[in-house]
């Protein structure tokens, strides 16, 4: 890609590869035959940008880097913590959106899995793309790396083909890649500040679906910024996003309600003591048919008739299989095993657990009951536009201290969720 003056290359698009027919259509028709779309791409260098009020038909958001080894601005462990807010604003203001992954030359399947795992709820709703550049990429020049990454994305998504973003090597892209995947090419006439251009320099010369024609763009909310033109209309964008026309919802996962059958009454009691279900009628409504039985346990604990059972250091480790909707604080509450620091998770990050994984309690704490239960935590409700990093900054704490988001992914939080810290 072309160097972006005063900012690193970590920025480029995301987009989904569409049906080959749509790609061929864009390659053959001149730009003037389309009501082309103008837009921007953003990354961790535009944290806090007001996407909703930005004049653009679309926005492509840099969401992931490598397999998590980058921290910079709102980029935390390789994930853009502002991406949810950016995409939500794009959707709310009627803009098309896309997302991209920045290649860092590690194992291509692992990078594709990292990309998909952190963004899968957006796939088939916006285009996706691979940002293939020279910087921080030891695999640069290895086209088989690109093939493997793309194939893994197709496998994970059930057929979605990412766009390929690249720049100085556009003319050397192998024919099989060019034929199968849509191209997003960066090529600038100069580095002078500019607004949107209806017919950028050398547009369409590579048969690309999208052209990034400036890194010194000027829009009403931010400058400099990357400017792009998508050589097609909204329906063609949607074909790249969802080539098979399959439906897939992106509605936030609903908070689990206390079940009325086969329930863990001890876990409900722990949650009630912690304040998860409020007081009085609010608690009664939340617990429903389980109210009387749960309150009997709560009263027993608070009356001091239950003792603290200390965990023996020689005891075998406790292993728990992660269920859908689980968080580590929820597992600790359900099992009564604290502190969280005594738990081991496969990713090494207690905020990144996934259904089917096995997490292990290695001792060093106690089974929390009665007065030894974890102290009541403070709560904060996620507001529209919030990110985990933004909430943490507002509260003056580290983002890892926030727990309770139902996705289990710090990059996926939703308005109305109640987080603990």
Pairing of strands 127-131, 96-102: parallel
Query: Which CA distances in Å does 368 have to 11, 270, 308?
Result: 46, 9, 7
Q: Are residues 74 and 183 in the same domain?
A: yes
Domain count along the chain = 3
CATH number of the domain enclosing 343: 3.10.350.10
Supply the pLDDT for residue 155.
96
Tell me which of 125-139, 174-188, 194-208, 252-266 is least confident. Answer: 252-266
Supply the pLDDT for residue 389.
75
Question: Given a cut of 90, is residue 243 above it in pLDDT?
Answer: no
- Contact between residue 74 and residue 60 where contact means Cβ atoms under 8 Å apart: no
Q: Are residues 75 and 121 in the same domain?
A: yes
In a domain, 362, yes or no: yes
Angle between helices 265-274 and 328-335 in degrees, nearest 10:
120
Q: Are residues 36 and 170 in the same domain?
A: yes
Of 186, 214, 241, the residue at which a domain comes to its end is 241
Q: Are residues 138 and 266 in the same domain?
A: no
In a domain, 316, yes or no: yes
Of 241, 274, 293, the residue at which a domain comes to its end is 241
pLDDT digits (tens, 9 = 90+) for 93-112: 999 999 999 999 999 999 99
pLDDT digits (tens, 9 = 90+) for 398-415: 766 777 776 666 667 777
Q: Are residues 309 and 298 in the same domain?
A: no
pLDDT digits (tens, 9 = 90+) for 32-81: 344 799 999 999 999 999 999 999 999 999 999 999 988 888 888 999 99
**Mean local confidence (pLDDT), 379-398:** 77
- Among candidates 32, 103, 34, which has minimal Cα distance to 67? 103
Supply the pLDDT for residue 22.
38
363 pLDDT tier (thresholds 50, 70, 90): low
CA distance 150 to 61: 18
Q: Who wins on pLDDT, 175 or 394?
A: 175
Supply the pLDDT for residue 266.
74
Q: Are residues 207 and 291 in the same domain?
A: no
Supply the pLDDT for residue 259.
33
Mean pLDDT of the chain: 77
Cβ-proximal residues to 229 (8 Å cutoff; 6+ apart), any chain = 31, 36, 37, 38, 39, 196, 197, 200, 203, 210, 211, 213
Question: What domain range is 362 assigned to?
Answer: 305-420
- Among candidates 154, 153, 182, which has minimal Cα distance to 170? 182
Q: Specify whether the backbone of 124 is left (phi greater than 0), alpha (psi in -120 to 50) or beta.
A: left
Supply the pLDDT for residue 420.
79
CA distance 285 to 258: 10
Q: Are residues 219 and 70 in the same domain?
A: yes
Q: Are residues 81 and 109 in the same domain?
A: yes
CA distance 294 to 98: 46
Q: Are residues 228 and 261 in the same domain?
A: no
Tell me which of 84-93, 197-206, 290-299, 400-409 is least confident. Answer: 400-409
The DSSP call for residue 123 is B
291 pLDDT tier (thresholds 50, 70, 90): confident
- Contact between residue 99 and residue 162 where contact means Cβ atoms under 8 Å apart: no
Q: Are residues 268 and 214 in the same domain?
A: no
Q: Are residues 85 and 208 in the same domain?
A: yes
Q: Are residues 401 and 290 in the same domain?
A: no
Q: Which residue has the tokens 């999208």?
A: 210
- Contact between residue 106 and residue 68 where contact means Cβ atoms under 8 Å apart: no
Model pTM score: 0.54
Q: Please report the beta strands in 193-332, taking only residues with DSSP state E, as ranges in sequence order.
A: 210-217, 225-230, 309-310, 318-321
């Amino acid at each position: 890609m072309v160097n972006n003056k005063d900012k690193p290359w970590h920025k480029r698009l995301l987009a989904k590869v569409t049906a080959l027919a749509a790609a061929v259509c864009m390659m053959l028709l001149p730009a003037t035959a389309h009501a082309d779309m103008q837009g921007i791409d953003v990354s961790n260098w535009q944290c806090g940008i007001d996407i909703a009020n930005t004049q653009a038909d679309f926005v492509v958001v840099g969401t992931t880097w490598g397999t998590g080894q980058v921290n910079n601005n709102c980029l935390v462990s390789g994930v853009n913590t502002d991406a949810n807010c950016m995409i939500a604003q794009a959707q709310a203001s009627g803009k098309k959106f896309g997302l991209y992954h920045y290649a860092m030359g590690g194992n291509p399947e692992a990078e594709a899995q990292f990309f998909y795992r952190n963004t899968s709820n957006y796939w088939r709703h916006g285009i996706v793309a691979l940002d293939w550049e020279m910087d921080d990429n030891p695999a640069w020049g290895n086209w088989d790396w690109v093939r493997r990454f793309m194939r893994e994305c197709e496998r994970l998504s059930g057929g979605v083909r990412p766009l390929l973003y690249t720049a100085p090597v556009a003319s050397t892209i192998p024919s099989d890649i060019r034929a199968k995947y849509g191209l997003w090419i960066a090529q600038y006439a100069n580095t002078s500040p500019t607004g949107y251009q209806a017919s950028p320099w050398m547009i369409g010369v590579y048969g690309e679906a999208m052209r990034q024609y400036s890194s010194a763009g000027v829009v009403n909310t931010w400058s400099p910024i990357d400017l792009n033109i998508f050589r097609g209309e909204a329906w063609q964008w949607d074909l790249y996003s969802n080539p098979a026309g399959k439906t897939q919802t992106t509605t936030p996962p609903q908070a689990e309600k206390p079940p009325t059958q086969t329930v863990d009454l001890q876990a409900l009691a722990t949650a009630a003591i912690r304040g998860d279900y409020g007081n009085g009628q609010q608690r009664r409504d939340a617990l429903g048919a389980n109210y009387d039985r749960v309150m009997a346990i709560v009263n027993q604990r608070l009356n001091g008739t239950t003792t603290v059972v200390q965990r023996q250091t020689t005891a075998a480790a406790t292993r728990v299989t992660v269920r859908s909707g689980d968080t580590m604080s929820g597992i600790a509450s359900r099992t009564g095993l604290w502190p969280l620091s005594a738990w081991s998770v496969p990713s090494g990050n207690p905020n990144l657990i996934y259904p089917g994984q096995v997490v292990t309690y290695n001792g060093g704490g106690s089974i929390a009951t009665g007065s030894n239960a974890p102290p009541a935590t403070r709560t904060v409700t996620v507001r529209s536009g919030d990110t985990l990093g933004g909430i943490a900054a507002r509260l003056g704490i580290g983002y890892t201290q926030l727990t309770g988001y139902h996705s289990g992914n710090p990059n996926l939080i939703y308005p109305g969720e109640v987080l603990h810290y």
